[in-house]
């Protein structure tokens, strides 16, 4: 897929993200949308000024115009990040000496704690909940089990191929963001279930390398997975958010609450920095406070 825009200065940068940084189509599209919006604003407000002459004041006027549209701090920060990456690339290419983003300050936003499902609710999901009949229900149950057992992202699970699973070693290789590979362990029980699932795939799936397929033998679609995950989670939790990512949060939170090492959780999740994983320590601290309140005589 080629990313071409009406703003010539963007095309080389988007190609860099695609072919050198190996970003996903979704991520490049987000960059492209943010940058097109910015340069459309410059073209309208400053009569198509060259990107090399744009100042920090102009960037801040663009951000101020979006604040009037009541965009969230998180959205504004993403747009600022897109511009910072674009100008950093221009400096690396020798097109600029200094970035106008040096004087642009990102708004502070409060960190939202990740939503997760309680351990006993997850037990109820697998023990007492009835899944749909036939191959459809079998696939849906296996997908939810793998989400919770590995912390995989939705895109990682959908794109997972049979040859990424090594049942003898009880591991699964995952291609994460930036095509970074990580290896996730499988429990003996889940490895056995996956072996049975693969052996029972419908005839229509012959030639399809994807691990999970629907009753027509085709790869699962993100919207379909999101829909059935939301349906089953609604049976066991009242959380407002009921998505595959909540299962990823639950995986990480339950590991931390049961004493897992923070660096180990970071590697399992495929985070590039420890800061992204540290959000899960909050729930661990809350659990320690609860234990302290119940057990300490002076609590």
Active-site annotation, residues:
153, 177, 245, 248, 271, 280
Kindly report each contact of residues 51-59 with a partner whose C-beta sits within 8 Å and lies 24 or more positions away, as own/partner: 51/9, 51/90, 52/90, 52/95, 52/96, 54/100, 55/100, 56/100, 56/101, 56/102, 56/103, 56/104, 57/103, 58/100, 59/83, 59/100, 59/101, 59/104
Q: What does each C-alpha distance from 172 to 54, 149, 184 come to in angstroms?
A: 48, 11, 5
- Which DSSP string do the residues of 111-168 spell out, in sequence order? PPPPP---HHHHHHHHHTPPPPSHHHHHHHHHHHHHHHHH---HHHHHH-BGGGEETT
d(CA 35, CA 3): 13
d(CA 3, CA 21): 14
d(CA 155, CA 176): 8
H or E element: which one contains 13?
Answer: helix 8-19
What's the token pair of residue 170?
């009880």
* Of 65, 87, 98, the residue nearest 10 (C-alpha): 87
What's the token pair of residue 98?
């200094």
Count Cα neighbours of 81 within 13 Å in the Cβ-side half-sphere. Answer: 11
């Amino acid at each position: 897929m080629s990313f071409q825009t009406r703003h010539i200065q963007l095309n080389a940068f988007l190609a860099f993200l695609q072919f050198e940084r190996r970003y996903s189509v979704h991520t490049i599209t987000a960059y492209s949308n943010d940058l097109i919006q910015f340069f459309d604003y410059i073209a309208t407000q400053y009569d198509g000024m060259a990107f090399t002459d744009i100042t920090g004041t102009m960037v801040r006027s663009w951000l101020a115009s979006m604040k009037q549209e009541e965009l969230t701090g998180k959205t504004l920060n993403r747009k600022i990040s897109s511009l910072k990456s674009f100008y950093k690339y221009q400096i690396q290419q020798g097109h600029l000496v200094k970035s106008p983003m040096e004087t642009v300050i990102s708004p502070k936003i409060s960190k939202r704690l990740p939503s997760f499902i309680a351990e006993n609710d997850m037990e109820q999901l697998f023990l007492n909940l009835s899944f749909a009949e036939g191959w459809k229900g079998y696939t849906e149950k296996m997908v939810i089990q793998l989400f919770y057992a590995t912390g995989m992202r939705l895109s990682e699970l959908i794109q997972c191929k049979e040859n990424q699973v090594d049942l003898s070693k009880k591991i699964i290789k995952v291609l994460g963001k930036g095509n970074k590979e990580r290896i996730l362990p499988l429990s003996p029980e889940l490895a056995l279930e996956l072996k049975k699932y693969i052996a029972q795939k419908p005839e229509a799936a012959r030639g399809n390398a994807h691990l999970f397929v629907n009753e027509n033998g085709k790869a699962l679609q993100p919207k379909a997975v999101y829909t059935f995950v939301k349906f089953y989670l609604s049976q066991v939790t009242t959380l407002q958010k009921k998505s595959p990512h909540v299962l990823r949060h639950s995986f990480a939170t339950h590991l931390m609450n049961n004493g897992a090492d923070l660096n180990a959780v970071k590697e399992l999740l495929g985070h590039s920095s420890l800061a992204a994983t540290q959000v899960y320590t909050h729930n661990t601290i809350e659990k320690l406070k609860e234990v302290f309140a119940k057990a300490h005589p002076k609590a």
